[in-house]
Structure 1
Amino acid sequence: MRQIALLYNPQKAEACSVRNDVTEQLERAGIGVIDVSVAHDTDIIASNSQVKTAELAIVLGGDGTLLGVARQLAPYHIPLLGINVGHLGFLTESEPSQLEPAIRRIVDGDYHLENRLMLEAFVYRDLKEVAKFTALNDAGIGKGSFARMVTLDVYVDDVYVDTYTGDGVIISTPTGSTAYSLSCGGPIVSPHLQVMLVTPVCPHTLFSRPCVIDSSSVVRLTVHARHRDVALAVDGQEGIWLQEGDEVLIRQAPYDATLVRWPDREFFDVLRNKLHNDPSSAM
């Protein structure tokens, strides 16, 4: 019997409502449903280990919910289909208004799978690893709201690139190129490319510009700040406070996130519609 995991954000009333419709349509098609409520700190596999056996996972929520789920399920190579019950829904593939045709496509196998590069970030303090994270969008080092500027030495494959003084630096994936990096002047990158972006945040110089590097590269950043209001943030959801002299190592993760995509939905169509806030972007 086919099984599909259904993950929903219980804090979103619409997600709970759509959950019932999805369950009904899948069961009517003879597909078993593995139901999991996903809060901010939910360990998905611990909540229901059957998720690992699902052919794919339907995620009801916004981009934030999908990012959190991706970080947990990517190591198990479980494809994710996002149904947007959030705001922008850039990473999601369907809207609640298009639920019936979306479920029909899943039942019929009318979709393809798209691998998205992920990052892993390590924090070293006094030569000891003190934290490790994974990211689908980005890993950013930055100052707090009212702190003074932070200075970061940036190396790529142990070759010195530059010292950035400003609000911080973002290391992002092609998926994350349309997120925080974009708002800081970074380029838009096609999601299938195997690259990473290094984007300075409000650099205090005329000459600091974003750059694109190969995904096989390793980025190392050394923190210089006399204040303690500096942190590493991963996908804008997890992180750790940093100290003077801390080193952050960022590289490609050993696995990708896998997203379910409709064959007739093009990246640049989605980009244009979503970033123009075009209501016709629902597909």
Structure 2
Amino acid sequence: MPNRHRWGILMIGKPDLCGPVLDILARLHQKYQLTFSLSAAALGQFTPDQTDQIRKCPYIITEPAESVLTHCGYILSFGGDGTLLRTARLIGKRETPIIGVNFGKLGFLTEINPDELDVLVPQVLNGDQVIENRMVLQSVVSLPDQRPVPNGNFWAVNDVVIDKSGYSRLISIELRAGDNYLGSYRADGVIIATPAGSTGYSLASGGPIMHPALNSILITPICPHSLTVRPLVIPATETVNIIATTQFHKILVAADGQGQEYPYETIHITVERAHEQVRIVKNTSRTYFDVLRSKFLWTNDVRSTDSKE
């Protein structure tokens, strides 16, 4: 059974974070008697001297990732949003809560700063933490005759992207929600996003911001060659069916930025809500709207007060 006082680490965002991470673990052990499980993959990111230090450390255990997930009540993610997304993919169906400690630039998902751990840790140990469940998308790629393709199963917290794979020519996109025909157009591609993913690539492509508690799927075209194609929000109970066609026999499908190219003229992609969820421990000192204002300057009037225009 997972131990509330034992926290796991599956990966470190960048090698230069290894030293600060060891300092944080030492402080949390000394102050709160926490112990930690480090996966073999995470251990490989440390320098030889740091590895020797870890092996001599009584409060850090190294073990396979599967054992980390079996024994630990929480998983620590040190880095940015990309590190948290990769950590979530490793956790998969176990749904172990993630504590995202932000060392990245934006930190929209990883909203806990290192100096805020002293507020969060007592909440977790006392069972007073707030955990948000984030929607996950699952996607399957197949050929027109419904034959599956190699490496055609995807799992995404933010978005699934179908893209023209570096060519300058547009690809053709046909969209359906279940059996309902939505439309066809030519574009660079299309983004299928969760509410949490609405502030990522979709936002940069003109999509709306959606609160992560919404039970919806967002469809955002990428540079459509049309004045009438706009983002569309549909219920998360729907399955999005996409037919993508190109004359160059290469189409890219990516989940949370991890892509796979397919050497075909036409592929079919289905995207739907997965049964599992990603569970993220919240920073209770600020709301989602506080994060929007601080990270995206949402509603901020950046015009100079003394401007004459």
Identity value in percent = 33
Which of 228, 246, 249 does residue 225 from structure 1 map onto?
246
After TM superposition, where is structure 1 displaced by more than 4 Å over at least 4 residues in a row? none
Q: Is 1:205–2:226 an aligned residue pair?
A: yes
Matching residue of 1:24? 26
Report the aligned-residue RMSD. 2.3
Flag the structure with larger Rg: 2
Structure 1 partner of 2:304: none
2: CA distance between counterparts of 1:203 and 1:46?
45
User: In 2 relative to 1, CA 146–128 (structure 1 residues): closer, same or farther, beyond 3 Å?
Assistant: closer
Residues 135-146 of structure 1 correspond to what in structure 2 (within 5 A)?
A: 135-146=156-167
| Post-superposition CA distance 1:37-56 (Å, at most 9, x none) | 657xx9xx954523233111
Determine if the alignment matches structure 1 residue 128 to structure 2 residue 130: no
User: What is the rounded CA distance, in whole Å, between the counterparts of 1:89 and 1:196 in structure 2?
Assistant: 22
CA distance in 1, matches of 2:261, 2:250: 11
Which amino acid in structure 2 is aligned with residue 243 of structure 1? Y
Return the TM-score normalized by structure 2. Answer: 0.82
Determine the C-alpha separation between the residues in 2 that align with 1:82 and 1:135. 17
Aligned: 1:258 with 2:287? no
> Would you say the 8 A contact 1:10–1:37 is kept in 2?
no
The Cα shift of 1:264 comes to 3.0
What TM-score do you get using the length of structure 1 for normalisation?
Answer: 0.89
Shift of 1:206: 0.6
Q: Residues 138-157 of structure 1: matches in 2 within 5 Å?
A: 138-157=159-178
What's the CA shift for 1:151? 0.6
Structure 1, gaps ≥5 residues long: 278-283
Aligned mate of 2:8, from 2, 5, 10: 5
Partner of 1:215: 236
User: Matches of 1:139 and 1:242 in 2, distance apart?
Assistant: 18
Residue 258 of structure 1 aligns with an amino acid whose one-letter code is R
> C-alpha displacement at 1:271, in angstroms?
1.0
Equivalent position of 2:51 in the other structure = none
Identify the match of residue 234 of structure 1 among 255, 277, 285: 255
> Distance in 2 between the 1:242 and 1:186 partners?
29
- Distance in 1 between residues matched to 2:283 and 2:197, nearest whole Å: 20
1:35 aligns with 2:21: no
